[in-house]
Amino acid sequence: MKRLSHLDAKGRVRMVDVSAKSVTAREAVARGRVRMTAATLRLLRAGRGPKGDVLTTAHLAGVLGAKRTGELIPLAHPLALDGVEMAFAFATRPSAVTIEARVRTTGRTGVEMEALTAVAIAGLTLIDMLKAVDRTLELTDVALWEKRGGRSGEWRRESRTPLARAVTRPRSSR
């Protein structure tokens, strides 16, 4: 088994020292989905959420989540982010909103956790803003889909998974 980088020689948890790593351009894409009833999806598509502009609020929450990842995930490095893009797509079978976050930085460590956090926080915000009309809301399928940069180079998730079929071109909430 590969040695875990967040453990020292004695098995204690530690923050990885990245000071010897090269500064490179890095990017990560994460996706997730919020499932809901068909009636809730119709309400969302019509822009009639009970708490106001749901997608814009979720968009902003996702960006904020990415920026705050170093504060939320104990061993994540606080990073200066160069860009965070959020996109949302509607699906009707099953009724859902798919969320995509694309995060970029130039640094010594990747932005995978920032992309995942952006999706999770945007999804939780959708749930918070729609829970008054739908108690069945579920945040599901949060996963890393792509990463670029650093020593390990490029990685992509296989496109044969259900979420890949659900999202072809997410659209920005703006």
12 found inside a domain: no
pLDDT at 152 over 90: no
2 found inside a domain: no
pLDDT at 44 over 90: yes
Within 13 Å of residue 15, how many CA atoms lie on the same side as its CB?
Answer: 10
15 found inside a domain: no
90 compared with 151, residue with greater pLDDT = 90
Amino acid at 89: A
Mean pLDDT on 102-112: 94
Mean pLDDT on 51-72: 96
Distance CA 27, CA 10 (A): 32
Please identify which of the residues 53, 82, 128, 141 carries the catalytic annotation.
128
pTM score, whole prediction: 0.87
Per-residue confidence (pLDDT) for residue 171, from 0 to 100: 45
Give me the percent of the chain exceeding a pLDDT of 70: 89
Average per-residue pLDDT for the chain: 89
- Give the distance from CA 111 to its chain's centroid: 10
Domain count, the chain: 1
Distance CA 10, CA 4 (A): 12
Q: Write out the H or E segment, with its range, that includes residue 34.
A: strand 24-35
Across 20-24, 45-49, 121-125, 131-135, least confident range: 20-24
Q: Range of 137's domain?
A: 24-172
- Sign of CA pseudo-dihedral 142, 148, 152, 154: positive
Mean pLDDT on 25-41: 97
Amino acid at 130: L
> How many other β-carbons are positioned within 10 Å of the β-carbon of residue 168?
8
Find all residues with CB under 8 Å of 125, minimum gap 6, and list them.
57, 58, 61, 62
Q: How confident is the model at residue 88 (pLDDT cuts 50, 70, 90)?
A: very high
10 found inside a domain: no
Active site residue 82: no
Copy the structure tokens of residue 46: 């019509």
CB distance 77 to 15 below 8 Å: yes
Residue 136 belongs to domain with CATH number: 3.30.70.640
160 found inside a domain: yes
pLDDT at 38 over 50: yes
Per-residue confidence (pLDDT) for residue 3, from 0 to 100: 63
Mean pLDDT on 100-119: 96
38 found inside a domain: yes
